[in-house]
Amino acid sequence: MTIAIRLPSNLVTEAKKLAAVHFRTATKQIEYWAYLGKIADENPDLPASFIKGCIEAKSELDNGNLSKFEFVEE
């Protein structure tokens, strides 16, 4: 379901700037921020960089971008 919401113009402007860097739409950028914020709110003890890494890893998994990791003993 899609609904229209009002957002401050400065937030939309910032979303457009960052969205272009990550090849997203402004809408997808704001969705990403909301998703990241929700996870951060639910896990206040985790650093944002760790949460971002987990989101990226899940995306790679979902898209089949996997490779076998081999442990090397020295």
Cα torsion angle, 55, 57, 58, 60, sign:
positive
Is residue 49, in this structure, part of any structural domain at all?
yes
Give the whole-angstrom CA distance, residue 20 versus residue 29: 9
Q: What is the mean pLDDT of the chain?
A: 92
Whether the predicted pLDDT of 1 surpasses 90 = no
In which domain, by residue range, is 41 found? 9-62
Domain tally, the chain = 1
- Residues with Cβ within 8 Å of 33's Cβ and at least 6 positions away in sequence, in order, are 15
Helix (H), strand (E) at residue 30: helix 26-42
Using pLDDT thresholds of 50, 70 and 90, give the confidence band for residue 35. very high
Predicted local confidence at residue 53, as pLDDT: 92
DSSP label at 65?
A: -
Is residue 2, in this structure, part of any structural domain at all?
no
Give the whole-angstrom CA distance, residue 24 versus residue 3: 19
pTM assigned to the model: 0.74
Predicted local confidence at residue 65, as pLDDT: 86
